[in-house]
Every structure is written in C-alpha cells, then in structure tokens.
Chain A
C-alpha cells in the first residue's frame, strides 16, 4: 500500500514537471509540420537534441495555444505555399 502511494506520488511529481507558471490561452495540443507531435505534457530534464532543448523543463513562462488553421491538411501537415 505504501509502495503504491509512493509510486503514485512519483508519477504526480513527474506530471508536474515543467508545469510552473503557464498561461493557458487555449487547450494545449503541440503540433508540427508533419502532423501532431503527440499530446505530451512532459518535459525533458536532460535535453540533448534540438527537439529536447525546445521542450526542456523550464521556469520560463509558457503560453499554451490551440491554433485554428483551416488550411491545414487533414493529416495535420502544411500545404505548399501558393
């Protein structure tokens, strides 16, 4: 029982990683040119790559935004420029 509580607490702590000081404008759905990058509220604690660096844990104020982009392809990718 105590181990379950401990594990639950650890998961809660990890889920809170990078949660400090965010301003929610809309619900957060990270996305990218190739489609959704995946709904992932975690952050990287030891970033090494570009992707990890830009999504590293931080106390910087973050703004969450769910953009409305009607011209986007059904698979989430970007159409070519005119």
Chain B
C-alpha cells in the first residue's frame, strides 16, 4: 500500500512540474514583440539581430520561416501564422535553435515579411499600404558535395539540366534526377536562379525538397557525389561549408566561371560586389505603412531600419552592419554593381557612403589603400567610417 501511495505521489508531482507551452503573447517573457515571416537564408541574420535587440532594447523577435512568396502573401493579404513560432528569448546565445511559442488563438498576422528576391518575382500584387525596403545582397549558387569532381557549371548546362531534366538534359555528370535537388516555387532561391538561367520556376525538373536546410543535408550526405547538385542561397550554404560547396558559375555571354567569393574558400564576395558573379539578388523587408509611407508599427520600423542600414535614433548599442556581414550577405555599401529587377542586367553602382574597407576587414584583408582612423582628419578627402578611411 505504501509503494502504491509513493507511486501516485510521483505521478502527481511530475504532472505538477510539466512545463506548459510558452504563449507568444506573453508580455512578461516575450516583451515588445515583432512578428516576422522570412526566408530560411535570413535565419543567421535574425538570430544575431534578435539576440542583440533582446539584450539591449528588450525587443522580442517572433518568427517563422517560409518561402519568399509565402511571406509576401501573408503580409499582403493579412494571412495569419497559426502554427508554433520561434522566438528569441532572454540571454539567447545567437546561434542555437530558438525555442517556440504558441500564437494567440486564431493566429497572428506578421508585422514584417521578407523576400530574398525582387517582390515582382512572385505572382502577387503588392497592395497600397505596404512598403518594400531593400537591404543586403545575397548570392545564390548551384551546390555540390565536397567529394564532387565538378568545379563549375555554365548557364547553358543549368538550362538543360533543370529545364529538360537530368537524364533528358544530357549534361554529364548530372544525369540522375533523384539527386538533382530543387526547391518549391515559393522560394526565392529558385526564383533568382530561374531568372538567371532562363528557366521559369514552374518548369524546373528535379527532386524538390521542402526546405533549404534539408536540401543542404541531402547534398552534403549524398552517396553519389558526382551526380548530385542542388541550389541554395549563401545564408544557408555558407553555414554548411563542412559538407557542401558552391560551383563556379558562368552566365550567358560570360567568358569565364566565377565563384561567389574571389576563391572557393574566401569570404570576400568580391565577384558578387564587382559583377563577375551574376546570380544574386537583394533582400527585401516589407511592412504596413501609413499614407506617408512610414511603417505604422514603431518597433517594426526600428527593426527594418536596422536591417536596411538606416540611421536610427537612438543609435543601437551594437553594429547592424557587422551583423549583416557575418550573416553571409553583402551590404549595399559594399556593392559596385546594381540591378533593377530579378536577373536583370548589371550596371555600375557607387554607394554614397561606401564600406569596402570595413567589409574586407571582416571577411579577409582590407585593401592596400585602406587605412585605419578614428575621425575624418586623417582621411584626406575621404570619410572615417567604422574606423576605416573610405573614399567618401
């Protein structure tokens, strides 16, 4: 009898200590929430930014990941996020998988949506009262396992491989459609590469994988390394360098193929910045605005301003530019080319406040003309930015 009593006490005690699922609308544990719906490639950025915002401004980022077109659809049409969401907790380490919370009954409409491609690449119409804020550039790549013998792919090869199918396309060694991995047409990655190789997203042939993370795993663990190929954005494949690598890419009318970085192992994204690597797009952050184009939600406005690099008041206690750079993107201040639509021709670009020296200091070695500074006095006709003399 005593053993039964003890057993019952144990069960009751255990039930009493079972942890309830965290509610997203808990103002104590998740203060000053901003709800976001963004692409998987933005996860490193949001983790780092969320950590900084939670620690210094008591803002809680609550989010889900989805394809660019899905994100836009939710914002445009007040689509509610009803499943469990991730959130950045207090004392978050910035890299681990965040915990989840349950949204309020009926779900929640995102305050911010992200597209990793020009919004016109999605078959949606942006309504009045939603503004699009352009942020950093992100390269997209055809990726292979480390053991692959292949170093490069041309736009023509990709056209046949993904437009005709692996076997019918006859582009050796990529002749097995079961390991030619693609993504759903809602994903910005396929939308960009579709424009670059002139194969509409709906016509891509291969094995579709639901998420970029799973695609990276499939490519990285394939037992057919030569036949295996996939597509990813830098925000994902640079987190998986231990198992996959990007192919150098030769665009239509280009003489040579180039990696997204100046070498396979570099992090400088120089070919993206100078136009030799053409498969890239800007990230876009959108929110609802008033008739003057000002984001209505002040906390969402601050988050977007920090992401796109606007000067904000009060100034943050962290460097948003540093977060962008270390999230595998190229801030616009380090770009020297631009484009006006998805896959569009490149043209020369000069940012009014360039940050090349700072970018290079974080991803490799600053150029020989880069000198350190604390103010403009030692920069001649240039300006001291992030402790480097930049040309203006």
Interface residues of A, Cβ cutoff 8 Å to B: 22-23, 25, 28, 30-33, 37, 40-41, 43, 47-51, 53-56, 58-65, 67-72, 78, 81-82
Q: Which of A54, A61, A81 has the most chain B CB within a 10 Å cutoff? A: A54
| Distance of A5 from chain B, by nearest CB (Å) | 29
Count: A-B pairs, CB below 8 Å: 120
| Distance of B44 from chain A, by nearest CB (Å) | 24
Per the bound structure, the CA–CA distance linking A62 and B199 in Å amounts to 25
Per the bound structure, the CA–CA distance linking A33 and B390 in Å amounts to 40
Establish whether residues A63 and B276, one from each chain, have CB atoms under 8 Å apart when the complex forms. no
Establish whether residues B253 and A30, one from each chain, have CB atoms under 8 Å apart when the complex forms. yes
Identify A22's interface contact among B160, B256, B274, B348, CB under 8 A.
B256
A interface majority secondary structure:
loop
Establish whether residues A53 and B199, one from each chain, have CB atoms under 8 Å apart when the complex forms. no
| Distance of A57 from chain B, by nearest CB (Å) | 10
Establish whether residues A43 and B255, one from each chain, have CB atoms under 8 Å apart when the complex forms. yes
Chain B's closest residue to A26 (CB) is: B152
Establish whether residues A61 and B170, one from each chain, have CB atoms under 8 Å apart when the complex forms. no
**Does B375 reach chain A (CB closer than 8 Å)?**
no
Per the bound structure, the CA–CA distance linking A43 and B254 in Å amounts to 11
Per the bound structure, the CA–CA distance linking A22 and B156 in Å amounts to 21
Residues of A within 8 A of B152 (CB): 25, 63, 65
**Does B206 reach chain A (CB closer than 8 Å)?**
no
Establish whether residues B257 and A32, one from each chain, have CB atoms under 8 Å apart when the complex forms. no
Establish whether residues A54 and B254, one from each chain, have CB atoms under 8 Å apart when the complex forms. yes
| Distance of B249 from chain A, by nearest CB (Å) | 9
Known interface pairs A25-B152, A33-B198, A63-B248. Does A56 touch B164 (Cβ–Cβ under 8 Å)?
no
Q: Which of B153, B156, B157, B278 has the most chain A CB within a 10 Å cutoff? A: B156
Per the bound structure, the CA–CA distance linking A48 and B274 in Å amounts to 12
Residues of B within 8 A of A68 (CB): 171-172
The count of chain B contact residues (Cβ–Cβ below 8 Å) is 45
Chain B's closest residue to A54 (CB) is: B254
- Extra 5 A-B pairs, beta carbons < 8 Å, given A63-B151, A63-B258, A82-B163: A53-B274, A55-B256, A60-B276, A65-B153, A67-B171
Chain A's closest residue to B162 (CB) is: A81
Identify B169's interface contact among A32, A51, A65, A71, CB under 8 A.
A71
**Does B318 reach chain A (CB closer than 8 Å)?**
no
Among the 9-residue stretches B17-25, B128-136, B262-270, B302-310, the one with 4 or more Cβ atoms under 8 Å from chain A is: B262-270
Establish whether residues A60 and B271, one from each chain, have CB atoms under 8 Å apart when the complex forms. yes
| Distance of B82 from chain A, by nearest CB (Å) | 37
Identify B262's interface contact among A33, A59, A63, CB under 8 A.
A59
Establish whether residues A67 and B151, one from each chain, have CB atoms under 8 Å apart when the complex forms. no
Known interface pairs A65-B257, A71-B169. Does A53 touch B151 (Cβ–Cβ under 8 Å)?
no
A-B contact pairs, 15 of them (CB 8 A): A30-B254, A33-B156, A33-B198, A33-B253, A50-B346, A55-B253, A63-B250, A63-B256, A64-B256, A65-B257, A67-B157, A68-B171, A69-B157, A81-B203, A82-B163
Residues of A within 8 A of B270 (CB): 60
Establish whether residues A61 and B263, one from each chain, have CB atoms under 8 Å apart when the complex forms. yes
Establish whether residues B163 and A54, one from each chain, have CB atoms under 8 Å apart when the complex forms. no
Chain A's closest residue to B251 (CB) is: A54
Q: Which of A30, A37, A67, A82 has the most chain B CB within a 10 Å cutoff? A: A67
Establish whether residues A32 and B262, one from each chain, have CB atoms under 8 Å apart when the complex forms. no
